[in-house]
Structure 1
Amino acid sequence: MSTREMTSPPPTKLLSKVPEITIWFWIIKVLCTTVGESFADFINVALGVGLVETAVIFTGVTAAVLAVQMRLRRYRPDTYWLTVVLLSITGTLYTDLLTDQAGVPLWISASVFSVMLAVVFAIWFIKERTLSIHSITTRPREAFYWLAVLVTFALGTALGDWTLDLTGWGPGASILLPLILISIVTALWRFGANPVLAFWIAYILTRPLGANIGDWLSLTAPEGGLGLGTFTTSIIFLLAILATVVYLSISKTDTVERTSGKTAPPTPPGRPRTALGILAVVAVATIMLLAYTSSLPHKSALADESPAKSCTAGSAPTQPEAQAAAKANFPASNMAEFRTIASDTLALVKKGDQAAAAARVTDLETAWDDNQSALNAADCGAWTYIDKQIDPVLSAVRAPTPKPATEQTVLKNLLATLGGA
């Protein structure tokens, strides 16, 4: 065997495949994460495509664009940031699949994605001896980088949603925590914190920041937002991303080769360790804040993003009362739609077509959520009663091991309230 055959070829050296970390990087990163939240909601809910179908579509599109990105030999703003946008949407959808489709608690999702990210970083460092994005000059390193980016989006989504669930903060107030934490990390980076650690912490935190901005802009005024809607919010931010990418493509201000001659001043000894200690204190303080806020009386911002469950205790109606109130106060077209979907789901369960039943029950969830503000305003008590009947229907039909008897029972109870046979 020749020496050539025994020696594996070294990885192909590429020019830098990532942009220089400037203020533009963080601006467009937040824009991308906002699109990831609002556009995923628009496709899934507003267009009624469905969560699973939306995730499948974007997984395929992301894989195709990522393949193009990986074939490039140097950084191109248009392809790079399109990849980031798609990974943002896809990472959001993966977390939503675990939470909404599989019923996995957010704290478990956050823990799983944290472990996954730690494993990715560990293997990356063992293989390449660096986690710096300034070293993305080979395809193996780029593969680790994009995998880490995907997991950070999923982790950021889980952490952001878990925070809202724990605190009950509205979309406006929820912007403040990640914004303050990013500011602290930035200050510590300037002070002398490890730049790689500071970068990845900030990268994760921009996900809940962008998502909360998207919610604040898209949700209606009663829900604590500005009422722009998911479509308008997505268009605004996509146009902002496009304008920024065009500017960067022309100005080249984020090209590493252009700024590679600049050297940072040496960090005084001891500062990295001090900054790490401060980061640990900030982490503990954040956990204590969330624990304290969670102990206060509040309602989950995820479970009720509108005043849908604001009925006072003791006002819950009986089934006949809820049925009569819904018939009197809810639009007949809405009631007919809910009955049709529930009847279809029940028929599919009886036929044993569990996959079709799970897909059809998602239509019920979408139709109910789309009309919750109007229906709750029409009759809070009836809305709350029916909503509490829909939740077990979704859980039963989507269960990993469905029980047909349970599915039929909860569906028949719901149909009885909706006025169906």
Structure 2
Amino acid sequence: MARADRRRAGRLDAGLSKVPQVTAVFWAVKVLTTGMGETTSDYLARVLGPVPAVASAALLLAAAFIAQARTRRYVPAVYWAAVVMVSVFGTMAADVAHVALGVPYAASAFAFAVALAVVFWLWRRTEGTLAVETVCGGRREVFYWATVMATFALGTAVGDLTAATLGWGYFPSGLLFAVLIAVPAFGHRLLRMPPVLAFWWAYVLTRPLGACFADWAGVSRQRGGLELGTGPVSLVLGAVILAAVLWLTAAARRPRRAAA
């Protein structure tokens, strides 16, 4: 394919992209979903029990993926519903591996990191790019969501590893990840870090960043938290996410109305 044709194809893919543009709002909502997923997972496991909670989350995740697969473009409500359910189920997957199966967080973090590397390798080898703006359905969307699942599970394991296993606590761990997530931003601007590498580096770190601060707000004071409760924290985060998604939905409709 000629270079001009590749450029036109890239613009076409971007125009039909089924994922949002990477903006400050995107990162803010992403961090909020990770925090909500952490506290919601803990709350449901305590109220419903581990098995019913995991089964319910799996069903809702499947429904969210089906809805996302049936869209032809990025729909904020559908996309972010899928991300929220990935966050809830990804947290449960990491927790089940540790609590039910007795797998240490260090081992599960390594396993999820390997899984993420394999998905990246397959995606790059098959599609030739890991750029999210080219995700417009088909195999690319499958690779994208497989990557998202792996990043959530990895981030959960890493966050629990620093906060619990290493004993650093939730708030100090959150500060650590806040510093680490700034590295790709400065690296991309100052050191010419490849944008795809910078994006996925930051994407992985949003999980432990949001989860650590959400846990800090929800868990008991004996565990180093504010003891606000996982249920109330989940409700507050859910309300903020809903408001953001409504705003994004309204913003997405403005260009189409202007064009009409």
Question: Normalization by structure 1: what TM-score?
Answer: 0.56
Q: Equivalences for 1:364-375 in 2 at 5 Å?
A: none
Tell me the residue number matched to 2:68: 69
Structure 2: gaps of 5 or more residues: 1-12
Which amino acid in structure 1 is aligned with residue 115 of structure 2? M
Looking at structure 2, the residues matched to 254 and 145 of structure 1 have their Cα atoms a distance apart, in angstroms, of: 27
Tell me the residue number matched to 1:318: none
Q: Could you report, residue by residue, the CA deviation over 1:276-317 in whole angstroms, capped at 9, with x for unpaired residues?
A: xxxxxxxxxxxxxxxxxxxxxxxxxxxxxxxxxxxxxxxxxx
Q: 1:122 to 1:254 in 2, by over 3 A?
A: farther
Tell me the residue number matched to 2:37: 36
Q: 1:254 to 1:50 in 2, by over 3 A?
A: farther
Looking at structure 1, the residues matched to 127 and 71 of structure 2 have their Cα atoms a distance apart, in angstroms, of: 20
Tell me the residue number matched to 1:261: none
Q: Compute the displacement of 1:65 (Å).
A: 1.1
Aligned partners of 2:218 and 2:230 also within 8 Å: yes
Q: Could you report, residue by residue, the CA deviation over 1:167-194 in whole angstroms, capped at 9, with x for unpaired residues?
A: 3122221211100001122111222211
**Cα RMSD after superposing both structures:** 1.8
Q: Could you report, residue by residue, the CA deviation over 1:70-100 in whole angstroms, capped at 9, with x for unpaired residues?
A: 1100000000000000000111101111100
Aligned partners of 2:162 and 2:169 also within 8 Å: no
Q: Could you report, residue by residue, the CA deviation over 1:245-274 in whole angstroms, capped at 9, with x for unpaired residues?
A: 01111123999x9xxxxxxxxxxxxxxxxx
Q: 1:205 to 1:34 in 2, by over 3 A?
A: same
Looking at structure 1, the residues matched to 115 and 183 of structure 2 have their Cα atoms a distance apart, in angstroms, of: 25
Q: Could you report, residue by residue, the CA deviation over 1:303-352 in whole angstroms, capped at 9, with x for unpaired residues?
A: xxxxxxxxxxxxxxxxxxxxxxxxxxxxxxxxxxxxxxxxxxxxxxxxxx
Q: 1:64 to 1:254 in 2, by over 3 A?
A: farther
Q: 1:253 to 1:196 in 2, by over 3 A?
A: farther
Local SS of the residue matching 2:170: coil
Looking at structure 2, the residues matched to 173 and 23 of structure 1 have their Cα atoms a distance apart, in angstroms, of: 24
Tell me the residue number matched to 2:17: 16
Which amino acid in structure 2 is aligned with residue 208 of structure 1? P
Question: Normalization by structure 2: what TM-score?
Answer: 0.89
Tell me the residue number matched to 2:138: 139
Q: Compute the displacement of 1:64 (Å).
A: 1.2
Looking at structure 2, the residues matched to 120 and 17 of structure 1 have their Cα atoms a distance apart, in angstroms, of: 19
Please state if 1:151 is matched with 2:145: no
Which amino acid in structure 1 is aligned with residue 108 of structure 2? S
Aligned length: 242
Query: Identical aligned pairs, as a percentage?
Result: 43
Query: Which has the larger Rg?
Result: 1
Looking at structure 2, the residues matched to 236 and 52 of structure 1 have their Cα atoms a distance apart, in angstroms, of: 25
Looking at structure 1, the residues matched to 102 and 221 of structure 2 have their Cα atoms a distance apart, in angstroms, of: 29
Q: Compute the displacement of 1:166 (Å).
A: 4.3
Local SS of the residue matching 1:226: coil
Which amino acid in structure 2 is aligned with residue 160 of structure 1? G
Q: 1:234 to 1:40 in 2, by over 3 A?
A: same
Q: Compute the displacement of 1:123 (Å).
A: 0.8
Looking at structure 1, the residues matched to 141 and 216 of structure 2 have their Cα atoms a distance apart, in angstroms, of: 34
Looking at structure 2, the residues matched to 120 and 219 of structure 1 have their Cα atoms a distance apart, in angstroms, of: 34
Tell me the residue number matched to 2:164: 165
Runs of 4+ aligned structure 1 residues displaced above 6 Å come to none
Which amino acid in structure 2 is aligned with residue 103 of structure 1? G
Aligned partners of 2:218 and 2:227 also within 8 Å: yes
Tell me the residue number matched to 1:112: 111
Higher relative contact order, chain-length normalized (CA < 8 Å, sep 6+):
2
Higher percent of residues as helix? 2
Q: Equivalences for 1:19-418 in 2 at 5 Å?
A: 19-45=20-46, 47=47, 49-191=48-190, 192-252=192-252
Aligned partners of 1:220 and 1:226 also within 8 Å: yes
Structure 1: gaps of 5 or more residues: 1-12, 258-421
Looking at structure 2, the residues matched to 52 and 245 of structure 1 have their Cα atoms a distance apart, in angstroms, of: 30
Q: Compute the displacement of 1:165 (Å).
A: 3.4
Local SS of the residue matching 2:16: coil
